[in-house]
Structure 1
Amino acid sequence: MYSFIQQDSYTLAFQVFGKGDKKLLAFHGYGQESIVFQEVTKSFPGHTIYSIDLFFHGKSEWKGNLSHLNFSVWKQILANFLSDNQITTFDLIGFSMGGRIALVSAFLFPEKVHSLYLLAPDGIQINAWYRVATKFPPLQKIFKYFTHTETDFYRKTVKRLGKYGLIHKTVLKLADTEMRTPQKRRKVYQTWMLYRFLEVDVKELAKVLNRAEIKVFFYVGKYDRLINIQTIKPLQYRLAKREIKVLECGHHQLVHHFNNQVIV
């Protein structure tokens, strides 16, 4: 069952799974919804899991300007969420794009976080295409055109890059799936543009996590071509308390494989 936090600029939707005394905040990946973490109760039987829909996913809505979500705004959103649910301390879990949100949340509330579980997390090494398309004004217009045009020009361009080996076939398949319709293309644009300012400096992040003695658990897929063990190195080697596990799967199967792990 969904619960909601309503504000003028947003609606934050979430689902609660489990009934443990400990609290776990969960953030799913792009194209998913909060229900993806329902089975994680098997790995965290002592936790109550608050699985949150990202904006433009599930039932969460962003009604404000796409440039207005920054560190201070997200800190207030999360503070409101914690207050409304009477959560004082918690663990965090994030998959892919949700990993970026988990990283930022730990950075902003280190005194409240016990452990951080990162499943193929985005936000450690920012993709160059993402950074250029969302932060470089001339290319923002091109990005908007590609994702708002009613033609398949974007998909054809990506396929052409794949043909010449400039994009890995896994990324090519993902782009084809997520850009198939005008509605999906606009969702990519809205999500990428909204979350573009939630980007933490890895060195500063490591200092905060180490100072708060937060243990970070990394889970990556052995066959993941999007985010793998090389991608997480800039952060993991700077951490005093860390653990890394490689699961026998690709990117999109990682949450399912993680749900079958014995964590606590």
Structure 2
Amino acid sequence: MGFLNLAGLGKVHFHEYGTGQKPVLAFHGYGMTGKQFNVLEQSVLKQYHVYGFDHFFHNESKLDDWTEQQIIAGMPKAMVKAYVEQWFKTYGRQRFSVMGYSIGANLALILVEEYADLIDEVILMAPDGLAVYKGFDIIQNKAWGQLLFKTVTKSKWLAPALLKNLRKVGFIDQSLYDIAYSEMNTPQKRMDVYYTLNLIKLLRPDVVKIASLINQHKIKCRLIFGRQDQLFPKLAAIPFINLLQSPDVHEVDLGHWLVVPALDEYLVNLTP
């Protein structure tokens, strides 16, 4: 593990693990850390050496004196390049792969936009960024949604009440309710959610450009979805998948909580 100092951003913490030789820059889901992919020990970790970055407001990654106003305005998309440029300074300019789960897929996809000529493979699991998720769009970009999000964050009772009502009307299932509740059941956790989702709101991948680059550079692209995932299902990603020449697409019998030992077993049993 170590740190990269990203100019204008802060100090990002990363974890190193895996017995494979091929480097992969990995970005985890909300509420996790860069070690999230260590459960894929029989599949991914035997092929790759993982550099798993902690998102800001997670674990030991810290922004440099950003004001609340700056955080709410969002991190400029161009700043994502700093991850790779600083990694190159430490490990040398070289080919690499990218991997992302859930909101972490946004950063992985943006790196494809910037470094397609150096990327060997893209591995995305229950990925955000391939289509607009209406819930995030409302709380990140609509004035009334932003106000609601801030109000819920500051309240002790609104967050659990809202989550219960969303579950009742079927907007989220029990598994998503459990995940969301566990990440919003204290004032600090609610602020971390608020700051994280605002910080990343400008990190919107250009999926048409990315698909073209994947095809042009013949980048391997593995997409894995949970069959019961109501947050980022395969159906929403079909337009992107249809743009790819040779996608490796999988739908497994899981929900959004996808990076688990059962996925490792599934990947190991795939025909090479």
Match of 1:128 in 2: 134
Q: How does 1:153-172 map to 2 (within 5 A)?
A: 153-172=158-177
Q: Identity of aligned pairs, percent? A: 26
Q: How does 1:215-230 map to 2 (within 5 A)?
A: 215-230=220-235
Q: Conserved in 2, the CA contact under 8 Å of 1:107 and 1:209?
A: no
Which consecutive unaligned segments of at least 5 residues does structure 2 have? Answer: none
Moved runs in structure 1, 4+ residues, more than 6 A? none
Worse-superposed segment, 201-210 or 135-144? 135-144
From 78, 84, 96, the counterpart of 2:84: 78
SS at match of 1:196: coil
Match of 2:37 in 1: 37
Q: How does 1:86-235 map to 2 (within 5 A)?
A: 86-149=92-155, 151-235=156-240
Amino acid across the alignment from 2:239: P
Gap change, CA 1:42 and 1:75, over 3 Å in 2: same
Q: Distance in 2 between matches of 1:101 and 1:200?
A: 8
Worse-superposed segment, 224-233 or 212-221? 224-233
- Provide Cα deviations, 1:80-138, integer angstroms capped at 9, x if missing partner: 12322224111111111111221111122111111101111111122112112112344
Q: Distance in 1 between matches of 2:15 and 2:25?
A: 10
Amino acid across the alignment from 2:133: N
* Root-mean-square deviation over aligned CA pairs: 2.2
Gap change, CA 1:143 and 1:86, over 3 Å in 2: same
> What is the number of residues matched between the two proteins?
262
Q: Distance in 2 between matches of 1:16 and 1:87?
A: 18
Match of 2:2 in 1: 3
Q: Conserved in 1, the CA contact under 8 Å of 2:15 and 2:35?
A: yes
Gap change, CA 1:228 and 1:165, over 3 Å in 2: closer
Q: Conserved in 1, the CA contact under 8 Å of 2:80 and 2:107?
A: no
Q: Distance in 2 between matches of 1:39 and 1:164?
A: 33
1:194, distance to aligned residue in structure 2 (A): 0.6
Worse-superposed segment, 157-166 or 240-249? 157-166
Q: Distance in 2 between matches of 1:82 and 1:164?
A: 48
Q: Conserved in 2, the CA contact under 8 Å of 1:55 and 1:191?
A: yes
| TM-score using structure 2 length | 0.87
Gap change, CA 1:216 and 1:137, over 3 Å in 2: same
SS at match of 2:131: coil
Worse-superposed segment, 29-38 or 111-120? 29-38
| TM-score using structure 1 length | 0.89
Q: Distance in 1 between matches of 2:166 and 2:10?
A: 37
1:189, distance to aligned residue in structure 2 (A): 0.5
Which consecutive unaligned segments of at least 5 residues does structure 1 have? Answer: none
